[in-house]
């Protein structure tokens, strides 16, 4: 089950469960679309993978036990421990390699 982290791990922008601005990598690292495009160049600074839009969990329970109410988003904020310089260097080194070939 996705954790649905509440913020961008770089700029700390709020990314509520219904946000269409949340992007995740295969490890659920969570960044906003602006950071993914302008700073990260579609490279996760934690694992080197690419990003996809984070799915939006249904608010309304349409099937028994399946909804945001039953499986709430995380409230634990997460921030990357890498500096902007480290992120720029890491992402710059692999941004021209397609995610499926990294």
> pLDDT for 9-38, tens place per residue?
999 999 999 999 999 999 999 999 999 999
Domain membership flag for residue 35: yes
Domain membership flag for residue 34: yes
Mean pLDDT score of the chain, rounded to an integer? Answer: 97
Domain that holds residue 74: 22-101
User: What is the pLDDT averaged over residues 50-72?
Assistant: 96
Residue 46 has what pLDDT?
97
Residue 18 has what pLDDT?
97
Cα 2 from Cα 94, distance rounded (Å): 26
Domain membership flag for residue 27: yes
Query: How many structural domains compose the chain?
Result: 1
Asked whether 77 and 6 are in contact (CB, 8 A), the reply is: yes
In this prediction, residue 86 has a pLDDT band, given cuts at 50, 70 and 90, of: very high
Helix, strand or coil for residue 28?
Answer: coil
Asked whether 60 and 67 are in contact (CB, 8 A), the reply is: yes
Domain membership flag for residue 8: no
Cα 5 from Cα 30, distance rounded (Å): 7
Residue 43 has what pLDDT?
98
Q: Cβ neighbours of residue 98 under 8 Å, at least 6 residues apart?
A: 50
Domain membership flag for residue 3: no
């Amino acid at each position: 089950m996705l954790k649905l982290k509440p913020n961008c791990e770089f700029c700390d922008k709020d990314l509520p469960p219904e946000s269409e601005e949340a992007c995740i990598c295969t490890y659920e690292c969570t960044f906003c679309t602006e950071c993914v495009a302008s700073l990260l160049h579609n490279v996760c600074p934690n694992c080197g993978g690419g990003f996809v839009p984070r799915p939006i969990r249904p608010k309304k329970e349409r099937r028994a036990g399946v909804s945001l109410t039953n499986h709430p988003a995380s409230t634990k904020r997460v921030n990357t421990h890498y500096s902007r310089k480290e992120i720029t260097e890491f992402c710059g080194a692999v941004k021209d390699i397609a995610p499926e070939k990294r």
